[in-house]
Structure 1
Amino acid sequence: MTAPYILVLYYSRNGATAEMAKHIARGVEQTGMEARIRTVPSVSTDCEAVAPEIPAEGAIYATYDDLKHCAGLALGSPTRFGNMAAAMKYFLDGSLNLWLTGELVGKPAGVFTSTGSLHGGQESTLLSMMIPLMHQGMLICGLPYSEPELGSTQSGGTPYGPSHYAGSDGKRPVDQNELALCHALGKRLALIAQKLES
């Protein structure tokens, strides 16, 4: 039996969502709980590509066992037309066995995203990522307004979860308000998971 951990599962193309994942993991680790960072491979429109078992860089690919055994989940994806990226949807679509056996019921989950424009679907993407998690019976955790950055941010950050405005070229760095909200989500998930475990 492994120690409880929060799975920080993300998909990223230009690095912003991956950067957010690292800061969510730091928030988790502030509580003394382990954060397990994982990603998912890209999908091909022509055929299912065969990705190497271990990517050349970044986090390793998630398995359904990573998801099954987590004490909580932070799920992140860049926005694709106001929705999560196909790669993340593809991974979640493959989690039917976890749904059939109720493995994720009652575990806390939160979501995060990055967009190329300020009003590029941050909230709709976060809401769309919550739907399969609710079907799995997970407990959705947003960010309360007791987090002061929700009131001061001029870029990303919502009560539905952390978000980031990356700019049209995808190169705008994650700012201090966005980072603080990432830390807050990680910490919140870990503390809730610890309370549920006890």
Structure 2
Amino acid sequence: MQAYVLVLYYSKYGSTKEMAHLIAQGVESTGMLAKIRTVPQLATVVTEAAPSIPEEGDIYATLDDLQHCSGLALGSPTRFGNMASEMKYFWDQTTSLWLNGALHNKPACVFGSSGSMHGGQESTLLTMLPPLFHHGMLILGLTNANPALSNTKSGGTPYGATHVSGPRHDQSLSQDEKSLCIEQGKRLGEVALQMLKK
């Protein structure tokens, strides 16, 4: 099996999905394969089983995708300063991987989007970190080597790439936000490759 970085995200309006694909582009610029996966929407009442493969878009992640990755980029939109329940639900199913240490010492990073500049984008990134710490992963942020981190007027933090989509979720990613996504993917890909050589 070829080594890969898993880019795992949930997206409601498309911004986090676009970020995931930019991060994957950065990962693949290092020569590392990127595997893009998402998680299904949750319903409070189940009337019929959802298909295991969505009708369109990226396919749903499995625990095998997570177990066999060489690195992870984890993304979610902001829900009141927290990761989306869809992503939290996925991580709540990973006890078997935790028990066998499947993710120990694998590099990981986080990214996300919010509707406003002060919508909780940084706290959302921080809420995605505890599961990664519990799984023994090595956390990567963004460095100020990329000028976009200091110059951005919208999203972008040392904790990971972010995007401000606006209250109607109609604001496109800025050039700085795009640059930071690609840079984050590149950094993750480089570290994953270094870890494979050990």
The alignment's TM-score, normalised by the length of structure 1, stands at: 0.97
Is residue 2:81 matched to residue 1:82? yes
Which residue does the alignment assign to 2:7?
8
Give % identity. 58
Give the residue type in structure 1 aligned to 2:70.
A
Unaligned runs of 5+ in 2: none
Q: What secondary structure sits across from 1:13 in the alignment?
A: coil
Aligned counterparts of 1:49 and 1:120: Cα–Cα separation in 2: 34
* Consecutive aligned runs of 4 or more in structure 1 exceeding 6 Å deviation: none
Which residue does the alignment assign to 1:27?
26
Which residue does the alignment assign to 2:150?
151
Give the residue type in structure 2 aligned to 1:86.
S
Checking the alignment, whether the CA contact within 8 Å between 1:43 and 1:49 is kept in structure 2 is no
Give the residue type in structure 2 aligned to 1:111.
V
Count the aligned residue pairs: 197
Aligned counterparts of 1:174 and 1:44: Cα–Cα separation in 2: 29
Q: What secondary structure sits across from 1:6 in the alignment?
A: strand
Checking the alignment, whether the CA contact within 8 Å between 1:71 and 1:107 is kept in structure 2 is yes
Which residue does the alignment assign to 1:73?
72
Aligned counterparts of 2:54 and 2:152: Cα–Cα separation in 1: 34
Change (3 A) 1:48 1:96: farther
Give the residue type in structure 1 aligned to 2:44.
T
Root-mean-square deviation (Å) = 1.0
Structure 2 matches for 1:134-173, cutoff 5 A? 134-173=133-172
Q: CA deviation at 1:3?
A: 1.1
Q: CA deviation at 1:35?
A: 0.4
Change (3 A) 1:107 1:60: same
Give the residue type in structure 2 aligned to 1:181.
L
Q: CA deviation at 1:49?
A: 6.0
Which residue does the alignment assign to 1:96?
95
Which residue does the alignment assign to 1:120?
119
Aligned counterparts of 2:45 and 2:180: Cα–Cα separation in 1: 38
Q: What secondary structure sits across from 2:141 in the alignment?
A: coil
Q: What secondary structure sits across from 1:187 in the alignment?
A: helix
Change (3 A) 1:124 1:152: same
Aligned counterparts of 1:50 and 1:142: Cα–Cα separation in 2: 38
Aligned counterparts of 1:48 and 1:104: Cα–Cα separation in 2: 34
Checking the alignment, whether the CA contact within 8 Å between 1:12 and 1:18 is kept in structure 2 is yes
Aligned counterparts of 2:140 and 2:174: Cα–Cα separation in 1: 22
Unaligned runs of 5+ in 1: none
Q: CA deviation at 1:53?
A: 1.3
The alignment's TM-score, normalised by the length of structure 2, stands at: 0.97
Aligned counterparts of 1:162 and 1:82: Cα–Cα separation in 2: 15
Which residue does the alignment assign to 1:133?
132
Q: CA deviation at 1:107?
A: 0.2
Checking the alignment, whether the CA contact within 8 Å between 1:6 and 1:34 is kept in structure 2 is yes
Q: What secondary structure sits across from 2:177 in the alignment?
A: helix
Change (3 A) 1:92 1:151: same
Q: What secondary structure sits across from 2:193 in the alignment?
A: helix
